[in-house]
């Protein structure tokens, strides 16, 4: 074995080791995803953390390795959140918001909006009550009712908009009439101006 071959051997061994780590990390990521989908979250975290350890020592990340590292982090954040460790998931995503791969950064920002959103349980009392038009007096406009009159008897009744049904076509017909008048006037004025040139 020559001197050059001996000096290249450690480099090629290092390259082979890095490629093997990349392959192993990819396999662990896929196992972690499958475990996540099977709702085996603790096992998924174990696989994803092992994958992360295989990528982490490699400081010279290619774009494929960079994306893989980011994808592992995204899946870890999702898994931590599902297990109730949202604080840890948020911390991971905050580190990824300026990530070198724009797709990973975009996913991290999206997840942050979800993780930081108020829980639905806090929105429980936020409701909208629709008025009940079933007992609407046709001589009164719906706008003239007070909120107390509108909220009466709305518990089990459906909304009946029959009173509005008669008003909507009238308003539409009025709009069409005004549109026709304006259009006709514009044409008449334009025609008058055009004819005045010949007089």
Structural domains in the chain, CATH included, are 16-119 (1.25.40.10), 142-196 (no CATH)
Short-list 55, 58, 79, CA closest to 69: 55
| 43-47, 91-95, 101-105, 169-173: least confident range | 169-173
Max mean pLDDT among 100-104, 124-128, 190-194 falls in 100-104
Comparison of pLDDT for 16 and 31, the residue scoring more:
31
Average pLDDT over residues 15-33: 84
Q: Cβ distance 26 to 55 under 8 Å?
A: no
Reply yes or no on whether the pLDDT at 139 is more than 70: no
Alpha helices in the chain (DSSP H): 3-37, 41-55, 63-82, 86-96, 102-116, 147-151, 162-196
Contact 17, 58 (CB under 8 A): no
DSSP annotation of 131 reads: -
The more confidently predicted of residues 142 and 24 is 24
Residue 172 predicted with pLDDT over 70: no
What gap in Å lies between CA 16 and CA 8, rounded to an integer? 12
Q: Which residues contact 92 (CB under 8 A, 6 or more apart)?
A: 73, 76, 77, 80, 108
Q: Are 97 and 51 in contact (CB under 8 A)?
A: no
- Over residues 103-117, mean pLDDT: 92
Instruction: Output the pLDDT for position 181.
Output: 85
Where b means 16+ CB within 10 Å and e means fewer, 147-177 reads eeebeeeeeeeeeeeebeeeeeeeeeeeeee
What pLDDT does 94 receive?
A: 95
> 29, 48 in Cβ contact below 8 A?
yes
Look at 149 and 120; give whichever has higher pLDDT: 120
Dist. CA 144–CA 146, nearest whole Å: 6
Q: What is the pLDDT of residue 199?
A: 64
Percent of the chain with pLDDT over 70: 60
């Amino acid at each position: 074995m020559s001197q050059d071959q001996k000096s290249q051997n450690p480099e090629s061994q290092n390259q082979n080791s890095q490629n093997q780590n990349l392959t192993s990390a990819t396999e662990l990521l896929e196992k972690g995803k499958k475990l996540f989908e099977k709702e085996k979250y603790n096992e998924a975290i174990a696989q994803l953390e092992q994958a992360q350890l295989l990528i982490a020592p490699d400081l010279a990340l290619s774009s494929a390795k960079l994306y893989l590292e980011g994808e592992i982090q995204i899946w870890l954040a999702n898994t931590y959140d599902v297990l109730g460790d949202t604080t840890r998931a948020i911390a991971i995503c905050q580190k990824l918001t300026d990530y070198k791969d724009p797709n990973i950064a975009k996913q991290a920002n999206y997840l942050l909006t979800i993780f930081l959103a108020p829980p639905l349980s806090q929105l429980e009392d936020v409701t909208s009550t629709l008025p009940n038009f079933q007992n609407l007096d046709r001589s009164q406009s719906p706008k003239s009712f007070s909120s107390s009159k509108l909220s009466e008897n709305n518990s089990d009744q459906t909304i009946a908009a029959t009173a509005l049904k008669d008003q909507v076509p009238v308003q539409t017909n009025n709009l069409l009439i005004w549109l026709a008048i304006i259009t006709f006037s514009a044409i008449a004025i334009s025609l008058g101006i055009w004819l005045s040139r010949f007089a």
